[in-house]
Each structure stands twice: as C-alpha cells, then as structure tokens.
Amino acid sequence: MDLKHKVSQDSDISQQTLALEKAKKKVRRIKDFYRSLTSAAFTILIVGSVNYYLNKWSHPWFLWVVFGLSISLFFKALKVYDISVFSKDWEERKIKEYMDKDKFN
C-alpha cells in the first residue's frame, strides 16, 4: 500500500467520523426538542386543569402559559430543523458586502 492510498483512507475515515458526529448532534437536538414538546404538553394539561378547577373557564388565564410555551417551541423548532428566515444566498451576499466595505475603509 502506498502513502497516497493511506492518506486517502485516513481522510475518508476522518470525514466519516465528522459526519457521524454531526448526525449524532442533530439527533440529540431533535430528541431534546421532542422532550420540550412533551414537557410543554404536560405543563399545559396541568395548568389548564388547575384553571378549570379554580374558576370553570370564567377567566382562562392558562392561555398565557400556552402562548409563552408556543413561542418558545416555535423558536426551538426553527433551530432544530434548520429553518431560517434568511437564505444561505442572502448570508453570503451580506458577508461579501461587509468584507468589501471593510476592505475600502
């Protein structure tokens, strides 16, 4: 086995290792999101039950809890599923714009 083949194999292994670590991190983030979702559901159930027990929905204050948890879960979902308001193309244009701006200053 020659040196070039050995270096190529090492490079492939390190790329596979990096890909595996990236996949594990992604799965961990999704798992954490589902835990947050489950926790939010139980919290809403408990707070809603307390609200009903105390005043039979005459003052549905538990909806504030639902609202707050929904906002939190929305932003977690955006992060976990890599959903961005700004596209990669936009990011690259802005980076280039700022680099060009700094170059001339």
69 occurs within a structural domain: yes
1 occurs within a structural domain: no
**How far is it, in rounded angstroms, from Cα 55 to Cα 60?**
8
Q: How many domains does the chain have?
A: 1
List, in sequence order, the alpha helices (H) in the chain.
3-55, 62-80, 88-104
29-75: pLDDT as tens digits = 999 999 999 999 999 999 999 999 999 999 999 999 999 999 999 99
Closest CA to 31 of 76, 88, 92: 76
User: Does the pLDDT of residue 3 top 60, yes or no?
Assistant: no
Please give the residue range of the domain that contains residue 64.
23-104
pTM of the model: 0.71
13 occurs within a structural domain: no
64 occurs within a structural domain: yes
**How far is it, in rounded angstroms, from Cα 66 to Cα 83?**
22
Let me know: does 69 contact 44? Beta carbons within 8 Å: yes
CB 30: neighbour CB atoms within 10 A? 13
3 occurs within a structural domain: no
